[in-house]
Amino acid sequence: MKKILVALIILTALACEDEQKQTEVLRIEAEKIHDQGLIKLQAGNFEEALNLFDEAIAIDETFEKPHVNKVEVYLNQSDYQKAINEIEIIIDKAPEVAENWVLAGIFEEKKGNKEKAFEYYETSIVKFKERIDRNKNEELTEEFERSEMDDETAILFSYILLEDFDRLDKAVTKFEDKNPDSPIIEYFLNFDKEVYMDNIFPDFELEE
């Protein structure tokens, strides 16, 4: 009986290893197609780009980058409903990416769903902080310090979007202590959310 159990464990391990290898092969293939789509996107060939992004997704359904670039295509086409649909897919496939929650929140606020937008902004702060903590476990490098500063800056922006000025003031003070010469501080202190929301995607309109 013990031998049978050991054999089953070995077979399970081998099956998992084979599945992992197959997944890696699919991701490599999907990335190649995705990169072709990027070339088309940069050239302004949006329909060809969309077709290639969809092809990459069909190869590897867990691959979120084609969806990110589909959002860019739809924003270029001012097709906001499709952009929103893709963002919802992105935050489902890659919930750890904080920036996706910010963008999703902005769209919800543009739609008039302020409560849901604020939930997304709060989630973005959690994700930015989690990324900072993850990176701290790695070797401290100049690149890490830049990344940490970028994430801390993004958190300030999320506080502004949340209209949470108490937390913003505390975060700005902390940020200023670490980065006293950063011009970003003045930018955020003078940031006008209402003007920003009016000017981002000014032709925003959803189909009935």
Clarify whether residues 87 and 158 are in a common domain.
no
Q: Does residue 207 form part of some domain?
A: no
Q: How far is CA 137 from CA 95, 146, 193, 198, in A?
A: 20, 15, 34, 40
- Of residues 79 and 16, more confidence is placed in 79
Clarify whether residues 88 and 120 are in a common domain.
no
Q: Does residue 205 form part of some domain?
A: no
What is the tens place of the pLDDT at every residue in 91-141?
998 899 999 999 999 999 999 999 999 999 999 999 999 988 888 776 555
Of 94, 121, 138, which closes a domain?
94
Q: Does residue 160 form part of some domain?
A: yes
Clarify whether residues 62 and 109 are in a common domain.
no
Q: Strand, helix or coil at 93?
A: helix
Clarify whether residues 164 and 77 are in a common domain.
no
Query: What is the span of the domain harbouring residue 83?
Result: 1-94
Q: Which residue has the tokens 């489902």?
A: 92
Clarify whether residues 170 and 143 are in a common domain.
yes
Q: Does residue 84 form part of some domain?
A: yes
In whole angstroms, what is the distance from residue 63 CA to residue 26 CA?
10
Clarify whether residues 159 and 189 are in a common domain.
yes
Give pTM, 2 decimals: 0.78
Tell whether the model's pLDDT for residue 142 goes beyond 60: no
Q: Does residue 206 form part of some domain?
A: no
Paired tokens of 47: 């329909």
Q: What is the count of structural domains for the chain?
A: 2
Of 94, 120, 155, which closes a domain?
94
In whole angstroms, what is the distance from residue 57 CA to residue 29 CA?
10
Q: Strand, helix or coil at 27?
A: helix
CATH number assigned to the domain comprising residue 18:
1.25.40.10
What percent of the chain shows pLDDT beyond 90?
54
pLDDT of residue 9: 39
Of 77, 94, 111, which closes a domain?
94
Q: Which residue has the tokens 């940031």?
A: 191
- The radius of gyration of the chain's CA atoms, rounded to the nearest angstrom, is 21
